[in-house]
A and B are shown apart, each in its own frame.
Chain A
């Protein structure tokens, strides 16, 4: 089999997406995608910035039908979009109706109101498995985003393997609700590809606040599946969110604490599963958090322990892919994750190299020395980076302003502290103890609990 259907086993009047206006059926979806495909400009790459999951899906499908590659920016920050537009000349953006971007020529996605007549049965297009349909970006060692090409075969294989691991059957009455952006690999795989490959419905919105999540889960037709992150789950527990029992939670982007998983299982009366993955390979393994810390590779995925790191092989990956975390793989193929490789940190689901951030900081005129650090403790929902900077005559606002132009907002330091000098040792290194001491002193001076 060298090609597969654009969408799974829907009848033409099965609902593909709820929310954001009337439900859209599979028949309407195919008509929407074809109609948009006909109006797309003749280009090879497109940035799909649609906020609605349904409109994103229509844009994604239309691009696939035209043989265009969808670029998945890891940030909507102007500099990030401009960077990608420069690297992929001729790109254009698909946006929501009311959004105009300055960085790149943009076309709003127009969905026509549903026709009153019953849509005629439509033939589902077939897509070659080796067609590159998306590019996900990871921050590279030099700070330049590295493109990771995704074939239709890889996306459909991951969606099917994830569904089968979670016990999802074709045409189950399940509505997939997601708090994660569909432009993120986990969001694309679990909240777009998984439902369309299995003939499930998706919720077109992206609930953010706990009260939103509660409303959407309560209204979701059939059984709900929540694609989310530890951050949103912690917020749901803090706000005592309730959900119809018997749903399914799928969390990724950061490890889920066992205690939090237990509380969510109890409060939602639903199973909580986690996905382990990274942009270069996509989702590779799953675990039910309360059942133990070992990850089970998805069907077809093989994780191999090598001397200094681990690699992943799968039939849909042209080459073995190196895992960015430290793992130990057991004889049965399951593995334990020990943490990130040195220098890499994860802030709210976004990975970055501290070395890259430091390099960008030092490029700023007037900055003599400076480091980003990730404090150890967990306060609030997400631990933000801090930065200690030596820049005589510059204010922290000036430096932050310059950083904002070249660093994703999620990595901007909270706070950026200006110091006369950094406590480097005689070899010029900054030992972790000195860093911890700097953090402690800053907190003491600023009235934070130490």
Chain B
């Protein structure tokens, strides 16, 4: 069963990623389970930093690499959306 809240965020987040990182792809083409970094979308650490600022501004959630779950959080659109759903303050 998919949580309806996080799937709404998934769509919203996909748009935020495409806009923030100036990717020339259709946000709906990002597969929710596919890796965001390395292969997959091929994002790098500067993208992670840039994305963290956009997420903080939009959802009020500050990402930390000291979070033991950080690798999981950044592993896919779905995982990132779930972390935002859980930690958002706006």
List A residues at the B interface (Cβ < 8 Å).
Answer: 207-212, 215, 231-232, 235, 238-239, 348, 380-382, 384, 396, 404, 409-410, 412, 414-417, 446
Q: Are A235 and B24 in contact, with the CB atoms below 8 A?
A: no
Interface residues of B in 1-39 (CB under 8 A from A): 20-24
Decide: A207 near B65, CB < 8 A? Known: A235-B49, A381-B53: yes
With A396-B24, A414-B21, A414-B24 as known contacts, state yes or no: A382 contacts B46, CB within 8 Å.
yes
Question: Are B42 and A404 in contact (CB-based, < 8 A)?
Answer: yes
Apart from A412-B42, A414-B21: 11 A-B pairs, beta carbons within 8 A:
A209-B49, A209-B63, A209-B64, A210-B52, A212-B66, A231-B46, A238-B53, A239-B53, A404-B42, A415-B23, A446-B24
Known: A208-B45, A409-B42. A382 touches B50 (CB 8 A): yes
Per the bound structure, the CA–CA distance linking A237 and B21 in Å amounts to: 20
Q: How many A-B residue pairs have CB under 8 A?
A: 62
Q: Are A215's CB and B50's CB within 8 A?
A: no
Cα–Cα, bound, A404→B41 (Å): 11
Contact A212 B49 (CB under 8 A): no
Which one of A215, A380, A410, A417 lies within 8 Å of B20 (CB-CB)? A380
* Contact A211–B63 (Cβ < 8 Å): yes
Please, how many residues of chain B have a CB less than 8 angstroms from a CB on the other chain? 20
Out of B23, B56, B65, name the residue touching A414 (CB < 8 Å): B23
Instruction: Tell me, in angstroms, the Cα distance from A446 to B26 when the chains sit together.
Output: 11
In the bound assembly, the distance between CA atoms of A210 and B52 in angstroms comes to 9
In this complex, the member of B22, B23, B48, B66 whose beta carbon has the largest number of chain A beta carbons within 10 angstroms is B22
Residues of B within 8 A of A404 (CB): 42
Q: Assess whether A209 is in contact with B62, with CB atoms less than 8 Å apart.
A: yes
Closest beta carbon of chain A to B50's beta carbon, Å: 5
Q: Roughly how many angstroms separate A421 CA and B26 CA in the complex, as a whole number?
A: 24
In this complex, the member of B23, B49, B52 whose beta carbon has the largest number of chain A beta carbons within 10 angstroms is B49
B69 CB-CB contact with A under 8 Å? no
A selection of 21 A-B contacts at a CB cut-off of 8 Å is A208-B45, A208-B49, A208-B65, A209-B48, A209-B63, A211-B63, A211-B64, A212-B64, A212-B65, A212-B66, A231-B46, A235-B53, A239-B53, A380-B20, A380-B22, A380-B50, A381-B50, A409-B42, A410-B46, A415-B22, A417-B24
